[in-house]
Chain A
Amino acid sequence: MIVYEDVAHAYAQAPSLRGVTLRVPDAATTALIGPSGCGKSTLLKLAVGLVWPMRGSVTVDGERLTTENIRRIRHRIGYVIQSGGLFPHLTAKDNVTLAARYLRRDRAWIDARVAELLEIVQLPFELLDRYPGELSGGQRQRVSLMRALMLEPEVLLLDEPLGALDPMVRFGLQEDLKSLFARLRKSVLLVTHDLAEAAFFSNRIVLMHEGRIVQEGSYRDLVERPANEFVRTFLRAQRVTPDA
């Protein structure tokens, strides 16, 4: 469980978060949505210590993040970004196993875990020896997901993981991810700018605007009881009316 308590943050040019309080529960998917620059990616980065709050606190399973404990906590969190963030000089397998090897995990354990993950993300074994440049966009995101899941984290942070994929690939991966989340029962925090995708993954959608949370609830809550004019505008801009 991740708990943000009145978190504020600013980049050099402008404030990005202006006091956010949010609980990300265990064994459920929470979808973060909002226009570009609303602070949703910053919220993810705060949970792995890539940026630090200027005010407030971030706790993971009751432990408040500090520069001392952050590296240990990172091993309990999987982080996937839009571009995948795979290291181009390492094969898919070396990308996946890097952290485990760094932590000197047993080789047999690593091999067993890799086999398990291949099944979870549904990738053929042969792809493991390829370099990221030799994989398709969808394959890259599956490898990236394997890397995030390698150390059996309790929490998964996904920053627009499907944003760069074409619609067909994206559709397939959405299906796979949803069943994967249901099966793994992890605490998932998913950032997307696509309301349909948010609604597909979760009935807890958190809508952000200009560094604040504007509304929290299911898709139906947002549509039927928009908190303010911005929510209405945001919904209109999505141009979709799925049956949530």
Chain B
Amino acid sequence: MLRWSGVLLMILATSASAREVIVGSKVFTESVILAELATQLLDARGIETVHRRELGGTSVLWSGMLRGDIDCYPEYTGTLRGEVLASKSLQSDAQLREALAQMGVWASGSLGFDNTYVLGMRKDVAQRLSIVRMSDLAQHPELRFGFSNEFMRRADGWPGVKQAYGLPQSDVRGMQHDLAYRALVSGAIDVTDLYATDAEIAHYDLFALPDDRRFFPNYDAIFVCRSSVAEDVKQVLQSLENAIDAQTMAGLNAQAKLDRLDERYVAQRFAVERFDVTTSAGLDTRMSRIWQRTREHLGMVAVSLVAAIVIAVPLGIAAYRNRNVARVAFAIADVLQTVPALALLVFLIPWLGIGYGPAIAALFLYSLLPILRNTHAGLADIGRDLRESAEALGLSPAAQLRYIELPLAARSIIAGIRTAAVINIGTATLGALIGAGGYGQPILAGIRLDDLGLILEGAIPAALLALLAQGLFGVLERRLVKAK
């Protein structure tokens, strides 16, 4: 993996022209935003800059910079001291700066926030167990820990914490950082490692345990560059010193992660607000953004609708044939329909996590009732004369269904599917609340940021899509329903 990333870096580096500055970023939102911000500010100063995003972890970026594949990237002092230069056991920032200089690396001052590790719990669990600081964890050996894989390995991660606080817990698992959040929220684990500027802390209402023995080192965000980069590059990066506090950074992270705004756009907005610099973000055009969301939105609607058709039409047929099936199926579908969409999504998260899964499941459940009801009604409305005529012709029940009953019920069934589709297109905007994307994203982000243009960017396509669905099903109905 590492080796391949190295090869990739070399390819990327050789493809770039010699003059331009190459800024790298690690594979997480904050790193991408910071690198993007630097790139845009450098660009605005007339320094040609490219951002190679999400290249890998610390070691990839660090070795890539030493080799000259990239010029600068955002880093944290704690990472440099405890990981990259661990053998040198550096105590102060001054010592760090000196050690870096010896290796040909220049470092900016702190950007203004300390993105240290913290251990986080659900607020209600912490309150129930009266845990108010990290040392309280020692009293609860039954707690289940789920840490990001990197935290499990690092000397300043779990091994160090365990020793420093004398923690007895035995149920300790490594998992992917984002999955750890879901596991924590759904109650599959009790404690995980967080970064102090994580957008999710506020979003999931988590409690960040104070590090009362001051175990975690400082993780001040800085930029590191090859010492050979031009002075004006260093000047621009120095203009970022103390420009971003932890809360601001958490907010920017939230815009990108929870509102799903493009990191380039987040950086651009911040550059305007904080530095009054209008940068060219090289953003996707509005049309390409809408197209991307259209694909997400249609994906959710189509998958859930097809699944609902596959289940609800046969169920409607069974209900038409058997009164007991009808009673049970309608009771369940009716109840499901009365559950508010938001509540349904929240119920589904513990089982299906966040993202596409619960969104599609919820839309599927909402589509069941209209299709089920219309299938049943369409079949039940067929006159007794016609049903008896089909039977008297000596057709098997399957043939009666195929040649007579379903074609006669087709208008009603299609109407049910059309209703479900239109409801789905509207409800799918809520998918953005749980990270499923779609037209809801700009609507939610627009509401949060009070940006009418952004709201309309989601609302107008959603309305158009609903109209389009209406029209398409109308055509389909005319094609399929032949009776005159």
Contact = CB atoms under 8 A, between A and B. Distances in A.
Interface of A: 45, 48-50, 71-75, 77, 79, 81, 83, 85-90, 98-99, 102, 131, 133-134, 147
Contacts of B407: 87, 89
B394 A99 contact: yes
Given A71-B394, A99-B394, A88 B388 contact: no
B403 interface: yes
Contacts of A75: 394
A83 B482 CA distance: 20
A134 B386 contact: no
A131 B482 contact: yes
Interface string B395-408: 11001000110011
Given A75-B394, A99-B394, A81 B484 contact: no
Contact of A131 (B388, B393, B394, B483): B483
15 contacts: A45-B388, A48-B392, A72-B394, A74-B393, A79-B389, A79-B392, A85-B386, A85-B389, A87-B408, A89-B407, A99-B393, A99-B395, A102-B403, A131-B482, A131-B484
A223 B389 CA distance: 36
Contacts of A73: 394
B389 A81 contact: yes
A43 to B, nearest CB: 14
Nearest to B481: A89
Interface string B449-483: 00000000000000000000000000000000111
Contact of A74 (B392, B408, B482): B392
A133 B403 CA distance: 18
A87 B390 CA distance: 9
A47 to B, nearest CB: 10
A100 to B, nearest CB: 10
Contact of B385 (A72, A81, A98, A133): A81
A160 to B, nearest CB: 12
Contacts of A147: 393
Contacts of B404: 87
Interface in B94-116: none
Contacts of A131: 482-484
Contact of B391 (A50, A89, A90, A102): A50
Contact of B392 (A50, A83, A90, A133): A50
Given A71-B394, A102-B399, A89 B385 contact: no
Nearest to B396: A71
Nearest to B395: A102
Nearest to B482: A89
Which 6 pairs, one residue from A and one from B, show the smallest C-beta to C-beta distance? A85-B389, A74-B394, A88-B483, A79-B392, A89-B483, A131-B484
Contacts of B395: 98-99, 102
A87 B389 contact: yes
Contacts of B399: 102
A75 B396 CA distance: 12
A50 B392 CA distance: 7
Contacts of B408: 87-89
A90 B395 CA distance: 15
A27 to B, nearest CB: 22
A74 B404 CA distance: 17
Most buried by A among B385, B392, B483, B484: B392
Contacts of B386: 85, 87-88
A91 to B, nearest CB: 9
Contacts of A86: 389
A107 B385 CA distance: 28
Contact of A134 (B390, B393, B396, B484): B484
Contacts of A49: 391
A48 B395 CA distance: 12
A99 B391 CA distance: 10
Nearest to A85: B389
Nearest to B399: A102
